[in-house]
Copies of this chain bind each other. A is one copy, B any other.
Amino acid sequence: MTKGAKQDAPRRRGRRPGGTDTRAALLAAAREIFVEQGYDGATVRAIAARAQVDAAMVNHWFGGKEGLFAEAVLKLPFNPQDVVERVLVGDVDQLGERIVRTFVTIWDNSAGGMFTALVRSIAGHEQASNALRDFLIKHIMARIIAKVAPDRHEFRATLVASQLVGMGMVRYVARFEPLASADADTMVAAVAPTLQRYITGTIS
């Protein structure tokens, strides 16, 4: 007890032996902590600690906190074009369904953190808000809606975005139950008709 095990031995100085990938470790740790704390709340020290590495490595590998955020959060973990194409395949009447399922699936797995990190960083990081808009509106919704919606494309796109963002907020950021734990099928059944109407239905 008094001296503790050798678990947190003061790390040796200088280059580490073996092919340790510090850069990747930092990226992983950064994603976790930016998700939990947002840009302002996350400290370089905390990220480095979780990666079991000195804080100075953030500067060495990414040029600073800013660069780490850009690389870990702002960079998309998948190609938007793929999502668009994948969603567009099939009957237009079931577009809402495919969109909900796609987003719930993607966000439930890897990319949900990116959404949370962006929202939690909106206050302190200028680009966060822009990144969210570019991602949802520009890269995804605009392309889908331009092909199938009858009119008022921009308004329809922001309507769809509003329901998607709301779903993300409630499900991943604020975690209101029981929606936060509802399975994909339940979410699709509930939300798909909304999106379908926003895209192809009458909105006035």
Contact = CB atoms under 8 A, between A and B. Distances in A.
Interface in A152-204: 154-155, 158-159, 161-167, 169-171, 173-180, 182, 186, 189-191, 193-194, 197-198, 203-204
- Number of copies of this protein chain within its complex: 2
A179 B158 contact: yes
B174 A155 contact: no
Contacts of A190: 155, 159, 198, 203-204
Contact of A197 (B38, B182, B193, B198): B193
A124 B179 contact: no
A179 B194 contact: no
Contacts of A182: 155
A166 B176 CA distance: 14
A16 to B, nearest CB: 33
Nearest to A34: B123
Given A186-B204, A204-B189, A166 B177 contact: no
A40 B123 contact: yes
Interface residues of A, number: 47
A163 B163 contact: yes
Chain A interface mostly: helix
Contacts of A159: 179, 190-191
A132 interface: yes
Given A119-B122, A163-B163, A165-B174, 16 more contacts: A38-B124, A121-B123, A122-B174, A123-B123, A123-B124, A129-B174, A132-B174, A155-B190, A158-B176, A159-B179, A159-B190, A161-B166, A161-B179, A162-B167, A162-B170, A186-B204
